[in-house]
Amino acid sequence: MSKATQQRFCPAVQRDISSAECGENRQSKYACPANCGFNPFTVENYDQYLELENRVLRKSYEWYLSSARDRAETQRMLDRMTDPRSSTARALQVSEMFLRRDVSGRTCAERWGMAGFPGLKNDERVLQRAAMDLQLRLLEVHRVLDDRRVEVVDLMEANPQPLILVDRSLAAVACRFSTLLGWFFPLPHYLRCSGFAVPITPLAGLDPLAVVAELIRHLGGPVERSQWSVWLAGNFPRFDLAREAVGLARHQQMLASLDADFGKAVYELRAPFSECRAVLDAAPDVEVDELTDAEMDEGFAEGRVWFESPGAAGPLTGPNQTLGRVLLGQAHWRAEAIGAERTGRLRTKLEAVLGPRVRFAGERRDNLAAHLRAKAPSYDASLVPPRLLEEPQRVSLGASRVAVPAGAAARAMALEEQFANMDRQWLDAPVPALKNLTPRAAALDPQLRPVLLALLKERVRLTDERARETGMTLDCNWLLRELGAHELIFDPPPLRPGVKRNPAGPPAPAANGDEDDVDEEDFIDDLEPWPQPPASPFSVQQAGERLRACVERYDSAAEARAEAEKAGCFLLEDLSDLVGDELTDLEKSFMVPAILQSWFAFVPPGCFGPEVAFNELQDALDKRLIRLEALLTQYPDSPPPPAGIVELIGQGPQPTMTSLLADQVLQQYQDMPGKDRPRASVMPLILMLLAATIEVLDRKCREGIPDDDEA
């Protein structure tokens, strides 16, 4: 029997029909139900729908070009304006296809429809007609139903009703009460996003809708919400820059108010070491603390941690809150604390306990906030609405010690209990946004209830983000019940597909056969080839922009790693095998962000990358290690000068990029707590790994882009 005459039962018309009749009428003349296996618009047939969507996008773009007065000039104009994979380009496409009207008052899509959608089949026409019902929406996530369905509400509606949005990428990362602004259109059984959506967070006491309104008003846009869609399509680059500028400005505000002096006070012992140690250990809030390798290399013999006294007033409260540390050497001791106020109190306590047994020798204070401000990206202050700078975030730095039991399950339970304790403390702590009332008290005040609900939404979202990043099963619905916020109670996101809960830390990779049912080739087919690097090595500006792109685009290393693997990047696995037991798991994790930055510097998001063989990485690393060994032999009794290491790292096809990344990695190393740092002895190896990776990526990306058959 031929394909055209094959029969199937149609639940829409309650009779057997041919496959040809099905294909020509489904979802157009026939109202196909959501459970029909032959309907490409069902959730179960999502992969089939994605193929359909890609075909329609290509054909609609072709129609737009072919209907232009001057196709070649229109193509050049689009190429000049933006990268076709960027959100700016997607906004431009929305504007040109669905929103901008000609002298007759019709959009490009409407002109295509009046012509009968030439070149489209029935399913494609159904999709294109649905896309013409495009609307700007501000969607708030309520529930993640499975690996592709997310329940949302549109905050722009007067009476928001639950909607089902189908998007596999969003379902993999969505958290309750995340808010997304973008253009969406309704399909027969669910909602779809037209290309992209940007996150909008509540700021300065304003909900996400008010934040959008304030940004548009400040940029000279319309007050009427009905006009936002057209205005944003034409002004999205400025809007997105303003949105990012607000985040950077508020971050700068937070740093400016941060007491982040890292104080180090040095004392000379005037009494025997054993006597001073015994007096210090008799203090009620002092306990033994481990030294780091670097601290032992400095000559310190023992460490102590000084806890806050019970009931001590301060910006941070809670059990096991630390005041600072004391490092014990045979002739000199050093007291360390975070914050000028804590440093002063630690000195006062230490001097009161030891008295004339020690003599103050000097103090150094490093302003970590100033260091962070100096490294913060620049932004255009004129794009920032003053209203969105009100109620700046205040942060207090501190540390606490929590006993971590042995065993992965026990460690997970201890961490979950720690997070729950933080929520319990918040319940009874004064909150400035609640007029300095506690959340419990504010829950009884009808006027403060809207503010409390907004704070609770943000707390739930952050809890879901923490659960997603750590792989732990965290939830704070009990907190909502405690405060009577029952309207905010939704089930937490389920276990994400392809990720197993790892109670000891971040999500573990899926075992073979547990991955999503999309083949690697399917991902590659949706990506563009990698771009050829410039003929000359990257300049400082070019290298900095490329290295920042990964950090600014992805919220976590896990998200960046998943996208890199879709694009064909297996560097992390190969490098891990390459170094074997030379690096610990912690040290391998330390280099992951820098390796991902290297990949995306050559292979931008939306592109697939070259295939890098294991032996190519091995050869590049071996050559660099030989040069490193030669340098070390010149200084048998002392470390080589930093200039020699820097010169060695910079040798290669991209000296500027390699040096910038190495400097960033070394700064991260310095900023890390001592116990979490890689061993100082392996840092040269890590830097050689980074340099070898950049060298190989540069060479592979210059060898040529494969043609369609090879790809």
Confidence (pLDDT) at 640: 65
Q: pLDDT per residue over 179-189, tens digit each?
A: 999 999 999 99
Over residues 28-55, the mean pLDDT reads: 91
* Distance between CA atoms of residues 549 and 605, nearest Å: 9
Do 658 and 691 touch, CB atoms closer than 8 A?
yes
pLDDT of residue 371: 63
Residue range 550-557: average pLDDT? 73
Number of CB atoms found within 10 A of residue 339's CB: 25
Fold of 261-367: Alpha-Beta Plaits (3.30.70)
Q: To the nearest whole number, what is the mean pLDDT of the chain? A: 81
Whether residue 705 has pLDDT greater than 80: no
Buried b (16+ CB within 10 A) or exposed e, 39-56: bbbbbebbeebeebbebb
Range name among 119-123, 168-172, 412-416, 672-676 with the lowest pLDDT average: 412-416
The neighbour count for residue 175, using CB atoms within 10 Å, is 18
Residues 6+ apart with CB under 8 A from 576: 588
Largest Cα separation within the chain, whole Å, is 103
Per-residue pLDDT band at 413 (split at 50, 70, 90): low
Has residue 271 got a pLDDT over 70? Answer: yes
Least confident of 108-122, 459-473, 502-516, 580-594: 502-516
Token pair, residue 24, equals: 């020509």
Q: Which residues contact 417 (CB under 8 A, 6 or more apart)?
A: none
Interval 598-607 mean pLDDT: 86
pLDDT at 503 over 60: no
Q: Is the pLDDT of residue 628 over 60?
A: yes
pLDDT value, residue 657: 86
pLDDT above 70 for 639? no
Question: What pLDDT is recorded for position 382?
Answer: 94
Task: Check: pTM over 0.85? Answer yes or no.
Answer: no
Confidence tier at 265 by pLDDT (50, 70, 90): very high
Q: Mind listing the pLDDT tens digit for each residue in 338-368? A: 888 888 999 999 999 999 999 999 998 877 6
pLDDT of residue 310: 64
How would DSSP label each residue in 71-102? HHHHHHHHHHH--TTSHHHHHHHHIIIII-B-
pLDDT over 50 (residue 501): no
